[in-house]
């Protein structure tokens, strides 16, 4: 595998999302031989089993993007001590039908940030439970939590905190090895 391709999506839809910022930051910190492609979850409708008779195109696109990626990076916001509904909705769609989910055996890493002091860790641990059920191949370490996010991002929503950028670099380097050892 010459270049590993990582699909990244953020569980927040807002324009100035710090999680979208983590993805943009990761793109610029990715090691040589790793390409990070962002997928926007905004067009994905609310899950409705009735729509499975005529799958919405954004859902088909999302599933195809996961299937064709070597790995997945999820930028996971913390909402009420768990991960966001936007993320749960998208994952629920991509889990269907469960026998054909592109998440099965898919290598996954997580990143979170929060203005609070836990950095989104509680959200990640909830998300890991769901990803375990879907039989994703989760890379546990290094973890990326950016606490006290205020002032750690510039006006373009790029992470400027040294400790945080070092964490991301280490994680992406380790993920490259995880995807293509040797």
CB atoms closer than 10 angstroms to residue 133: 11
Smallest gap from residue 33 Cβ to ligand FMN (A): 28
Closest CA relative to residue 119, chosen from 148, 158, 142: 148
The correct pick among 37, 38, 65, 118 for binding ligand FMN (CB under 6 A) is 118
In the structure encoding, which two tokens stand for residue 133, read together? 């059920």
The correct pick among 33, 43, 45, 116 for binding ligand FMN (CB under 6 A) is 116
> Which of 106/122 has CB closer to ligand FMN?
122
Task: Determine if 125 is a binding residue for ligand FMN (CB under 6 A).
Answer: no
Residue 6 per-residue DSSP state: E
Contact predicate 124/75, CB 8 Å: no
111 strand-pairing partners: 75, 144
Task: Determine if 124 is a binding residue for ligand FMN (CB under 6 A).
Answer: no
Cα–Cα–Cα angle for 145, 36, 174, rounded to 5 degrees: 55
Cα–Cα–Cα angle for 112, 147, 33, rounded to 5 degrees: 45
* Site for ligand FMN, residues 68 to 107, rule: CB under 6 A: 77-81
> Which of 101/113 has CB closer to ligand FMN?
113
> Which of 6/41 has CB closer to ligand FMN?
41
Residue 107 per-residue DSSP state: E
> Which of 38/174 has CB closer to ligand FMN?
38
> Which of 56/147 has CB closer to ligand FMN?
147
**Site map 7..26 versus ligand FMN, x via CB under 6 A:** -----x-x--xxx-------
Question: 170 CB contacts (<8 Å, ≥6 apart)?
Answer: 142
* Binding site residues, ligand FMN, CB under 6 A: 12, 14, 17-19, 77-81, 114-116, 118
């Amino acid at each position: 595998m010459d270049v590993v391709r990582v699909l990244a999506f953020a569980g927040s839809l807002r324009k100035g999302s710090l999680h979208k910022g983590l993805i943009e930051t990761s793109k610029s910190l990715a090691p040589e031989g790793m390409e990070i492609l962002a997928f926007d979850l905004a067009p994905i409708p609310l899950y409705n089993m009735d729509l499975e008779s005529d799958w919405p195109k954004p859902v088909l696109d999302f599933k195809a993007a996961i299937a064709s990626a070597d790995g997945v990076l999820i930028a996971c916001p913390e909402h009420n001590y768990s991960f966001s509904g936007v993320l749960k909705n998208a994952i629920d769609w991509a889990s269907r039908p469960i026998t054909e989910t592109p998440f099965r055996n898919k290598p996954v890493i997580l990143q979170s940030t929060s203005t609070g002091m836990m950095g989104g860790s509680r959200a990640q641990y909830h998300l890991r439970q769901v990803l375990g059920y879907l039989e994703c191949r989760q890379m546990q370490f290094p973890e990326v939590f950016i606490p006290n996010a205020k002032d750690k991002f510039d006006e373009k929503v790029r992470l400027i905190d040294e400790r945080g950028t070092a964490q991301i670099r280490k994680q992406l380097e380790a993920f490259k090895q995880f995807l293509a050892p040797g």
